[in-house]
Each structure stands twice: as structure tokens, then as C-alpha cells.
Amino acid sequence: MNRALSISFLILFIIAIQTNSIVKQNKGDNLSENLTVDSLLNQADEIFQKRDYKTALEHYMKTAKQAQKEFNLSVESEALAQVARVNLILGNKDDGRVYLEKAAGRVSESDPYGWSRYLGVKGRFEWQDDNLKESKLTFENMYNYCVVNSLWGRAVDAAHMVAIVAETAEEQIKWGHIGIEAAEANDQQRWLGPLWNNMAGTYYDIKQYDSTLICYLKARDYHWQFSGEVAKLFADYHVGMTYRLLGEFEEA
């Protein structure tokens, strides 16, 4: 009798452990489902910033699907735009264009987050299609729109992209300074490394090496504060390279 009771208790104990394990697993599996679509989008953005593009793509797709279920057009349009952008980065331009068109069908100009995100991706597709004038106009519109709506990170991104697609060095430098001023005034310091770096590249192209060095030194300062190890390495390299161009070999 005691042996039978012991076996019964043992069976019940095993069942209880297995049930608890299944519950914990289900909680883990459903964790992302319990997040709001805004949180899902933020999570996808964080992965994107780490340049884990394939994983980011999966998260943006999931976010778009969930936002559609909840009739959240703003988040859906942002997620679809980012699906397009990630596909562009991964070399799947045609696939990306399909999602960009889907985003265009969902987004409204009255939605600051959705519209600004859409413009940022639209401009990048135009850039990669070598439609530089259209791309420049799109990013200029994005900049003005983001300033009006106090979306400063996206405003700086827009200025940064105008500086990239602008045809003349004068325009590139002008928009580089616009981006830098906006970043400094609105707590967007993470942008300052890339902005100074790109301006240095412009001065390098027109062989103004003294100005190139000034910009690369500023870029290095910010890269060492806010960027990853690879960016820091390139920042050091560019400073040394420019010192050599100026004949300052000891500094290099």
C-alpha cells in the first residue's frame, strides 16, 4: 500500500513539474505577443540599430502583421516601410519596393511617425535608383516636416541624407552643418560622428585637407563616445591618413 502511494505521489510530482515547465515555456513564447505594437516596433528598431538586419526583418514583419490585426495604421506603415528598407539593405530591392508601396497605401501625411518614416525609406529607394534630384527633394521635405513635428532624430537623419545625395560640395557642406546644428541643439549626439565624418569626406574630395582634418578629428571624438569598435577603428585611420596627407608624419 505504501509502495503504491509512493508511486502515485511520484507520478503526480512528475506531472506537476512537466505542467509547470510547459506553462513557463508558453509564457516565454507569448511574451512578445503580450507587448504592445509600439513596443514591438521599438524592439525591431533596436535590433536594426545593431545591424542584425535579418532578425530585424523578422521582427518588422511580425510588427506589421500585429498592427494590421489591431487596425493601427501608424505602426503598420512604419513597420512596412522598415521591411522595405531592410530588404533594400539586404540587396532585395524589388521585394522591398513591394513593401514600400504597401506602406504608401497605409500611411497618412497627418501621421508624423508614419509619414516621416515612409519619407526616409522612399528617399533611400530614390537614392539607390540614382534619382538624386527626387531623393534630395524627398529628404528636404522630410527634414522640414520633422522640424515642424519636433522629430529631431529623424530631422537629423534627413539632413544627413540630403548632404549625401546633394550634387555640389557647397550643398553637402551646408546640409552637413544643418544636421550638426540640429543634432547639437536637440540631444542627438549619436549622429555627430557620422555627420562630421561625411563632411570630412566632402572636404577630402575637394582637396581641402586642413578642413578634412578638423572634421575627422571631431568625428573621431564623437565616434569614440557613441559608436562601436569598427567605427572607432575607421575614425582613427582617417585621422592618421589625413595627417600623412598634410605631411605631419609624427602626428600620424
CATH 2.60.40 fits 35-130, yes or no: no
Q: Are 143 and 157 in contact (CB under 8 A)?
A: no
**CA proximity to 171, closest of 213, 217, 139:** 139
Q: pLDDT digits over 44-61, tens only?
A: 999 999 999 999 999 999
- Residue 197 near residue 232 (C-beta atoms within 8 A): no
User: 3-class SS at 139?
Assistant: helix
Region(s) of the chain under CATH 1.25.40: 35-130
Domain boundaries for CATH 1.20.58 within the chain: 188-252
pLDDT band at 200 (very low <50, low <70, confident <90, very high): very high
Above 50 in pLDDT, residue 31? no
Please give the model's pTM, rounded to 2 decimal places. 0.83
Query: Chain-centre distance of CA 117, in angstroms?
Result: 10
Q: What is the C-alpha to C-alpha distance for residues 103 and 211, in angstroms, rounded to an integer?
A: 41
CB contact set of 149 (below 8 Å; sequence gap of 6+): 112, 116
- pLDDT, one tens digit per residue, over 85-105 is 999 999 999 999 999 999 999
pLDDT at 5 over 50: no
Calpha distance 204→231 (Å, rounded)? 18
Q: What is the pLDDT of residue 250?
A: 76
Residue 63 is which amino acid?
Answer: T
Residue 17 binned pLDDT confidence (cut-offs 50, 70, 90) = very low
The pLDDT tens digits for 203-234 are 999 999 999 999 999 999 999 999 889 999 99
Residue 33: pLDDT band with limits 50, 70, 90: low
CATH topology of domain 188-252: Methane Monooxygenase Hydroxylase; Chain G, domain 1 (1.20.58)
Asked whether the beta carbons of 102 and 63 are under 8 A apart, the reply is no
Tell which wins on pLDDT, 150 or 19: 150
